[in-house]
Structure 1
Amino acid sequence: MIRFSTIADLRKHLSTDRASQKIALVPTMGALHEGHVALIQKARQENDSVVSSIFVNPVQFNNPDDLARYPRTLEDDCQKLEAAGCDIVFAPAVEEIYPESPIMKLSFGDLETVMEGAFRPGHFNGVGIVVAKLFNLVQPDRAYFGQKDLQQVAVIRRLIRDLSFPIELVVCPTVREADGLALSSRNRNLTAEEREQAPAIYAALTMAHELLLEGQSPAQARASVTGYFSSRPGFRLEYVETVNAETLQPVVEVLAPGQTAICIAAYLGQTRLIDNLVF
């Protein structure tokens, strides 16, 4: 595995591979877990060369404390990537990606006015800018993202369409612990007691899913989930929504299979966790 920290060196190396090889990109912010490993392994199976980026993107954080608390484990991450079959790691400094603060703004319309966009203003502008930069630098044939960040997936899908990137978006299933907790880099910030409580998020999603299958309305399922968390100290529910899985707009009834998603965001102590289930 080869490691680069500058754009010039990365571009120079990839210029010799691009004509004859299928290149995959797996963007990450580091603090890697088995969910990231699954993305790398999937990319390894389907492409000739796998590039992974490790970059904690400051532009997508609207909370400076959240940025400061985000775990950084570069050497351990590189070991995981190499073991999973990654060929190239791009781990630049902030100054390499942003020699000066970007002034361009990306708008994703209704996709960024709900859920994460409503609670994290400017977040998806930052995501769009850094992913567009990575797409431009690597010029991959395929890009791999996890379903856990469902709204991010929808934003990247729109970015690819609107800017005509010749890239196939590959969305991989959420990887979970045995107790249902979705793997996340932020899980490292949970205390031992909070880690025991954290599977309640998946339990709430499962409960909402069952209620909807029984014929209850999204509003009724939402009320049940809100009540579920109100009796669990340590949790602060930000939102629970039943939405169109592609447009992310709220729905008043369940749509066709694969078109409806239940999404949750909640704080457990100081750690913000998100998860979703797609019907």
Structure 2
Amino acid sequence: MNGLRIPPGIRIFNSIKDFRQWRRQILLDRQTLGYVPTMGALHRGHLSLVSAAKDACDHVALTIFVNPAQFAPNEDLGTYPRTLQADIDALAQHFDHATVLVPQVKEMYPSGIEPDVSKQVGAFVEVKGFSHQLEGTTRPHFFRGVATVVSKFLNIVEPEEVFFGQKDVQQCIVIQRMIRDMHFNVKMNICPTVRESDGLAMSSRNTYLTSIQRKYALVLYNALELMKEMYENTTKHAPTLIGAATEFIHKTQQEAQTECEIKLDYLSIASPSNLCEVTGDIKDGCIMSGAVYVGKTRLIDNFMVDVKL
């Protein structure tokens, strides 16, 4: 971190050992620690999680770590935005103090980390039954990487409470189940999705969008809004809702074809209890979710309908 300018009130650790010494003093002082895991490129969504952590606990810690285990070999690990100086400047602008752990890959994965899962060596965590569907369909090893790194950080940070955003709803469900099944002594908080003024869910990957692509980036949000409106006013038949949203996206594809490519990855109406697709009428609430490519940028979003995690 040569050349990094550390603003007043911000404490940075590179070493897990040094971070643990700091964390031990908080424990000895009988104070509480809230934790926000991030991959950096902080935006208002991340900052809202920090605010929630500060409201609930005496201290707040973030991790900034672009986790190689959750990227497939053909994904954007090499180009994922890394903006550490801007991140800590944003923290200092909004909060009087915060602690950040920025560990090295070799310390987080002491056995090494190969992009090819079949060649990986070491300990990894999988949450069966919740990782293969939805996002896991096109990113089959994604939640294995997420569960592994979050379990490592919960062991390192040992927070009283941890904070995640609802935008990554399947991730929330996976981590929620992992915390329960692995008996992590931590309270999990799922905070509402933070959106731009026009409704676009905030994401670090939004920075990839060109001005023309940004014009069409609401296609998924609008499709989910259509499903929700129909659910509330017309029909609760899940296949009918999916069909209408799919037709809406295809229509937008036709309108945008001379300016940018839009590609539907998936649309889903799933049960919040097991993430299984609802194949008939929605009876006990649901998760409406989906993913689309606008240009090369993959956007995800979801609505929790008549249910709370």
Unaligned runs of 5+ in 2: 1-9, 113-120
Corresponding residue SS for 2:66: coil
Determine the C-alpha separation between the residues in 2 that align with 1:74 and 1:255.
Answer: 45
2:293 is aligned with what amino acid?
A: Y
8 Å contact from structure 2 (residues 39, 63) kept in 1? yes
Structure 2 counterparts to residues 110-149 of structure 1, below 5 A: 110-149=129-168
8 Å contact from structure 2 (residues 69, 145) kept in 1? yes
The structural deviation recorded for 1:106 is 2.5
The structural deviation recorded for 1:52 is 0.3
Determine the C-alpha separation between the residues in 1 that align with 2:36 and 2:94.
Answer: 12
Q: What is aligned with 1:4? A: 13
Q: What is aligned with 2:249? A: 229
Determine the C-alpha separation between the residues in 1 that align with 2:182 and 2:291.
Answer: 29
Structure 2 counterparts to residues 41-120 of structure 1, below 5 A: 41-85=51-95, 86-101=97-112, 102-120=121-139
Alignment partner of 1:208 is 2:227: yes
1:196 is aligned with what amino acid?
A: K
Q: Deviations over 1:74-119 (max 9, x none)?
A: 1000111233335210011211211223533433222012111111
The structural deviation recorded for 1:216 is 4.2
1:225 is aligned with what amino acid?
A: A
TM-score under structure 2 length normalisation? 0.87
Determine the C-alpha separation between the residues in 1 that align with 2:159 and 2:274.
Answer: 25
Alignment partner of 1:27 is 2:37: yes
The structural deviation recorded for 1:33 is 0.5
Call closer, same or farther: CA 1:6–1:255 in 2, change over 3 Å. Answer: farther
Q: What is aligned with 2:292? A: 266
Aligned partner (choices 187, 203, 206) of residue 168 of structure 1: 187
Determine the C-alpha separation between the residues in 2 that align with 1:219 and 1:109.
Answer: 26
Corresponding residue SS for 1:255: coil
Corresponding residue SS for 1:16: helix
| More displaced 10-residue stretch of structure 1: 259-268 or 180-189 | 259-268
Determine the C-alpha separation between the residues in 2 that align with 1:99 and 1:242.
Answer: 40
Corresponding residue SS for 1:136: helix
Runs of 4+ in 1 over 3 A off after TM superposition: none
CA RMSD in angstroms, aligned pairs only:
1.3
Determine the C-alpha separation between the residues in 1 that align with 2:217 and 2:64.
Answer: 26
Determine the C-alpha separation between the residues in 1 that align with 2:194 and 2:143.
Answer: 23
8 Å contact from structure 1 (residues 148, 274) kept in 2? yes
Unaligned runs of 5+ in 1: none
TM-score under structure 1 length normalisation? 0.96
| More displaced 10-residue stretch of structure 1: 179-188 or 219-228 | 219-228
Larger Rg: 2
Determine the C-alpha separation between the residues in 2 that align with 1:54 and 1:139.
Answer: 16
Determine the C-alpha separation between the residues in 1 that align with 2:46 and 2:281.
Answer: 33
The structural deviation recorded for 1:249 is 1.4
Q: Deviations over 1:216-268 (max 9, x none)?
A: 41111111111111122321111000011242111132233xx4110011111
Determine the C-alpha separation between the residues in 1 that align with 2:63 and 2:109.
Answer: 15
| More displaced 10-residue stretch of structure 1: 211-220 or 191-200 | 211-220
Structure 2 counterparts to residues 231-270 of structure 1, below 5 A: 231=251, 232=253, 233=257, 234-251=261-278, 252-256=280-284, 259-270=285-296
